Structure 1
């Protein structure tokens, strides 16, 4: 059942104090807020007045179907009443306590996480988000193995902290290397991506086999005894929603076992129902040594992340201190929402719902669009985690936006995004792709309407209107 309430102007909401105007919000934003990943004078953020379920609204009353779950984290939607109540109740009972103390919300969430993780992954270190979760998982792997190097994919994103931006494979690390250098012992390899195979593969089986052979060569050339961890997103998120071919993650697990390397599963984006399982790796019959999480663990209502680890890694620090910590580790407000989130997942069968909607509605709708639209080169995904890759030509696969675009080359994607927004649907625009990642609680009619609006936006594309470099 949807809990969305129809939009009302702020001054007309019964029992509520009138807030500042949308114009004032935007003015203060322009004058005082510094935005991430942005040229500050070239953006004009939408001022959002309210949000409920899978819908958010601006100050003029226009509603948008949230097909991005913001940054792929509002898994249980906006303003879920049980999650809001969990914050309120915890704030009344114990708003905050230092991590050196035990508290009920943190202890219960750690217990519930150990229940949904594979057997043997019984301990949880809580962080404030995904980047520091990956940061600490790597620190644990280095302490556990006594090694320093970390391998990760070129098409990856693991966070923007000082070390994680270097572990990240995508071009966002380049400018950071200019200012900090790359002294974090991160090394990259090509992961599987059959649509644009780096290995001249023509089948998923070939892609998996050749990609694994490539990783093993990287391990051997870097020196197996120097490598602490391999970190991979179980389903690559920001860099393309790349679902690994059958056998790839299991093969990666075997390589880690063979060479004594820790396997870190980055589940920050793919975890907590996004793919239809608690964790993305559970689709592939594989178990990591460390699991990192954030985002969907509590739908971002209060910032929270963490690392779930094997007992053997925990025992490394049984009699010597772990060299790290965070002031807000296991914050009770964040953990209380995490506890309630897991209960909502179970009570409402969210995992089964995601599998059903993904297979019955999203996949066939996107495949049908691909057959009709000449600019759709590929669609791929699982559950409620989908990418639509756009190209100039289906035969050549030339991307609609180059890998390293000039500002003018971004215009086709900007125009398509504007067409989506005009029609009241808000997907996530990334390079030459749209990522469709709505809240897992979206109503079926909202999901179908969002897909129809996205389809209509694609129909506005006219290749003749653009001059290609």
Structure 2
């Protein structure tokens, strides 16, 4: 059995024994021979074998540790190997491993009730999925069937998943290779003051102009044809774009006015990431549907779902919902979700996430911005932050071009490499470093990571100056 011992900083020191396990060379060989990796040209990658993890750290087979500022894919919200979740999964496995979605089951019932109780307003039903993309697919299906309309408005600078419908709704370059996609998608620009599509100079202007843009599109597309407006409550991978105050309420008003379903994609932003159960709680807005996954159980077992308003749920009281999944509400996954929600409350994780954002990450990143000429903007809330890197603060030219690959991406690759060399695992996308550690990360660990980022940003400064 693998054991760990903490080092002087309190971080796990990595494995000291691994009886009966494959060594690094064999893991790497089998991976190269048989694993087909997502979003990758297979011959150009060399995935690092991970041997273990605990808390906010993971390590390789040599015992080299990395402080995880990515939470893997921004999903390990309560950290690695939380003993209560491990125990809940083990207990459920010993009691009942699986049962069809057609049955009622204790963990499934408890998870649905606990999630609904923490959702805003009258979102009282949960349709379980295996992850976020399937949640988005089914939410859109519900909206179309509820309204009898077919169009869905979806933002540029968004990501909603990689299944056929979800990738068609996605507003970043990952959808290009899958086009033409599903019919009925209408694109709009969301608020992003730093690179405003509306020539705004203040948050208020950005909010007002983004809402007017959305209203104008509803008019010219025909409100009677639009089933849903889909948005990430706080845009995730595409920039940690926190909406200005009033924006989500304005979208809610437009939806109410025209009978459009408001769908909030909280797959990344929910369950503590923004310091609330759901990011919309920060603005006291109630969508009609909320999609979730990732942080609901920190990815310990695949789980996602759709929170459904009473009004939309009633559409299917006497009309079958034409959708389902073999593993919907899998008992192992639901047991881990129950335990996760209990951990959030017992350990005060929402309050800790708010504290990290307000008192540690936000101030720390603003200090870095003052010291590094390559930092154009920092933004975020809770444990959900982005550092936007530029070549020139005046022109705001990005450090690397939009969707840069190959040699064009070299400056960002150098910054990421500098982080990893120093034991920090960052989340990078285009010209941004995202600071998204587990919500349970300690103040000291966050400051340690920010100190490493401070050193890595010297590389960004050099890259920006070498144009």
CA contact (8 A) 1:163 1:184 kept: no
Residue 10 of structure 1: which of 17, 39, 44 is its match? Answer: 17
Q: Deviations over 1:94-131 (max 9, x none)?
A: 11000000000000011111110122111000000000
- In 2, the alpha carbon distance for the partners of 1:331 and 1:4 equals 33
Name the counterpart of 1:14: none
CA contact (8 A) 1:377 1:397 kept: yes
- In 2, the alpha carbon distance for the partners of 1:450 and 1:183 equals 42
- Written as runs of structure 1 = structure 2, the 5 A alignment for 1:217-228 is 217-228=216-227
Pair 1:300 & 2:307 matched = no
Aligned-residue offset at 1:465? 8.7
Residue 109 of structure 2: which of 107, 110, 114 is its match? Answer: 107
Name the counterpart of 1:273: 272
CA contact (8 A) 2:13 2:63 kept: no
Aligned-residue offset at 1:456? 1.0
Name the counterpart of 1:384: 383
CA contact (8 A) 1:412 1:466 kept: no
- Written as runs of structure 1 = structure 2, the 5 A alignment for 1:56-455 is 56-177=58-179, 181-455=180-454
Q: Deviations over 1:212-269 (max 9, x none)?
A: 0000111111110000000100000000000000110000000001111000010000
Q: Which has the higher mean CA deviation after the structures are superposed, 292-301 or 21-30?
A: 21-30
CA contact (8 A) 1:389 1:434 kept: yes
CA contact (8 A) 2:241 2:380 kept: yes
| Paired residue secondary structure (1:380) | strand
Aligned-residue offset at 1:60? 1.2
CA contact (8 A) 1:120 1:310 kept: yes
- In 2, the alpha carbon distance for the partners of 1:126 and 1:103 equals 13
Name the counterpart of 2:3: none
CA contact (8 A) 2:374 2:464 kept: no
Aligned-residue offset at 1:312? 1.1
Q: 1:213 to 1:461 in 2, by over 3 A?
A: closer
Aligned length: 459
CA contact (8 A) 1:231 1:263 kept: yes
Gaps of 5+ in 2: 1-5
CA contact (8 A) 1:10 1:19 kept: no
- In 1, the alpha carbon distance for the partners of 2:55 and 2:463 equals 39
- In 1, the alpha carbon distance for the partners of 2:465 and 2:11 equals 40
| Paired residue secondary structure (2:437) | coil
Q: Deviations over 1:60-106 (max 9, x none)?
A: 11100000000000000000000100100000011100000000000
Aligned-residue offset at 1:5? 4.1
Backbone CA RMSD of aligned residues: 1.3
- In 2, the alpha carbon distance for the partners of 1:411 and 1:183 equals 34
- In 2, the alpha carbon distance for the partners of 1:379 and 1:464 equals 19
Q: Deviations over 1:21-50 (max 9, x none)?
A: 111111111111111111111111111010
Gaps of 5+ in 1: 12-16
Q: Deviations over 1:340-365 (max 9, x none)?
A: 11111111111111111111111111
| Paired residue secondary structure (1:460) | helix
CA contact (8 A) 1:295 1:304 kept: yes
Q: 1:340 to 1:198 in 2, by over 3 A?
A: same
Name the counterpart of 1:51: 53
- In 1, the alpha carbon distance for the partners of 2:12 and 2:400 equals 38
What TM-score do the two structures reach when normalised by structure 1? 0.96
CA contact (8 A) 1:9 1:59 kept: no
| Paired residue secondary structure (2:287) | coil
What TM-score do the two structures reach when normalised by structure 2? 0.96
